[in-house]
Amino acid sequence: MNQANVDYKKESKKVINKLLIASTFINLALTIIKYVLGKWIGNVALQADALHSSLDVLSSVIVFSAMFFSYIKSEKFPFGLYKLENIASSFVSLLIILTAFEIGYSLFEKREPVHTSVLNQIIVAIVLFFIVILMYLYSKYEKKIGTQYSSSGLVSDAEHIKSDLFSIFIIICSIIFSIFGLNIDKYVAIVIVVMILHSGFELLKNSTLALLDINVDKKTIEAIKQEISQFEHVNEITSIKGRKSGRFMLLEIIVKLDIASFEEAHKLSSQIEQRIYEKFPNVDNVIVHYEPIEKKIVKICIPQTKNEQISEDFSNSNSFLIIDYDLSRKKILNKQQKPNDFLELKEKKGIQIALYLVKEGVDIIVTTKHIENTGPYFVFKTHNKKFYVVENVQIDNLEELLKSISNKIYVKQTGEET
């Protein structure tokens, strides 16, 4: 995990905790304001809603506690307790659904007529209206931050506040309509109940899916694929599996690399992991597994002397026998004897030959130990080519030589280190 990822965690934790603490005090203030205003004008519905807001205080405390403890990692919980956020989100979604049923149930209750002056009712309606506007703006901001940091707890808290605003809005409607002797607040309430239920069930669905380890969304998967594809030696992305844990993602990626060296493959996989941490800061853990490319046909190059023996002096080889070989059928598909056109060069002869063979698509070079730590050797290693070192320069049986090369270097395509 890189520093950017660590900084992201610290920053997001700080911002989210501030908002959740603010939500707790806001719900507490709403409880007091609703109760005082309800008592003042004798509105039982407003007093009852004050009781409901007191439960919202408890809800905010639960979400904050879940977020606070979710960062704890231990031997028993090496990946942290991030799912506490999803559990808290599920709890809040159930409260939202309960709110909808409470509003629906209240439609069938007989209410005492309000005995207070019209002026007092108008004042209360205006105060509640401003509360609705301010709380709506706050819930919108909270949801924006929750979405930005992928925090289901923050999003659920924002949705819960929004559902409470609907109940206040109904009370405002009932106050206004009662002033004019109208009684249509029930019809408004029915529409609002449906909206709250939809919001609650949608939130519950998302929280439940996260608890069931649903895969990361397709948009994120595609973005991750684009980042990985930028690495030169990534030949194929076999799979990307991920799961949401709170607001963080845990990823497992399998790629096929066009790299022969185990060390180089390990180094590249680490670079891929660091890139993902850098580009996707809400990734808490990523593991990249690598596999070799399953090549069925390979090009094998045998540098030869005039007597068609394996050359011990790579740069001054007389010719190069290039063979297309089918690994699965153990069969020669094509043979070409190519002359060494670089014999007349005075400088960097071996390097030019190596670059030429790389361009020809050679996968394996049959050679002796004499090539080690030379210019051609490093060219081939840089381009991830394999070597098959022989002690006997005499080719007694070409077919047997090719079979032994195949068995040693491409053992059943398992990617074992040679």
State which of 292, 322, 353 marks the end of a domain: 292
- Are 206 and 227 in the same domain? no
User: Which residues lie across from 240 on neighbouring strands?
Assistant: 253
| Per-residue pLDDT at 114 | 54
State which of 211, 234, 251 marks the end of a domain: 211
Identity of the residue numbered 85: E
Mapped onto helix, strand or coil, the DSSP state of residue 345 is: coil
Q: Which of 82, 402, 385, 401 is nearest to 261 (CA)?
A: 385
- Are 270 and 303 in the same domain? no
- Are 193 and 51 in the same domain? yes
State which of 263, 292, 321 marks the end of a domain: 292
Does some domain include residue 243? yes
Does some domain include residue 48? yes
User: Which residues lie across from 364 on neighbouring strands?
Assistant: 300, 386
- Are 26 and 87 in the same domain? yes
| Per-residue pLDDT at 392 | 82
- Are 83 and 112 in the same domain? yes
- Are 175 and 200 in the same domain? yes
Cα–Cα dist 324/339, whole Å: 17
- Are 131 and 193 in the same domain? yes
Q: What is the largest CA-CA distance in the chain?
A: 117
Cα-based distances in Å from 10 to 2, 71, 149, 377: 13, 10, 12, 48
Does some domain include residue 417? no
| Per-residue pLDDT at 185 | 58
Q: Which of 114, 72, 95 is nearest to 201 (CA)?
A: 95
- Are 246 and 304 in the same domain? no
Cα–Cα dist 42/393, whole Å: 106
* pLDDT tens, the chain, 418 aa long: 566 666 777 787 788 888 888 888 888 888 888 888 888 877 666 766 776 677 677 777 877 787 777 777 777 777 778 788 788 878 878 887 887 787 677 666 665 555 567 888 888 889 989 988 998 999 899 899 888 887 777 887 888 788 778 778 878 887 887 777 776 656 666 776 777 788 778 878 888 887 887 778 888 899 999 999 999 888 889 999 988 777 788 899 999 887 766 777 888 999 999 999 888 888 888 999 987 776 778 899 999 999 888 998 898 999 999 999 988 788 899 999 999 999 888 888 999 999 999 999 898 999 887 788 888 988 888 887 888 888 888 888 888 888 888 777 654 444 443 3
Domain containing 169 — which CATH number?
A: 1.20.1510.10
Mapped onto helix, strand or coil, the DSSP state of residue 292 is: strand
Domain count, the chain: 3
| Per-residue pLDDT at 290 | 86
| Per-residue pLDDT at 48 | 67
First-to-last alpha carbon distance for the chain, in angstroms, is 31
Residues 6+ apart with CB under 8 A from 120: 40, 41
| Per-residue pLDDT at 42 | 73
- Are 137 and 256 in the same domain? no
Domain containing 365 — which CATH number?
A: 3.30.420.130
* Residue numbers of the domain that contains 346: 297-409
- Are 246 and 354 in the same domain? no
- Are 123 and 57 in the same domain? yes
Domain containing 236 — which CATH number?
A: 3.30.70.1350
Identity of the residue numbered 386: K
Does some domain include residue 415? no
- Are 69 and 151 in the same domain? yes
Does some domain include residue 23? yes
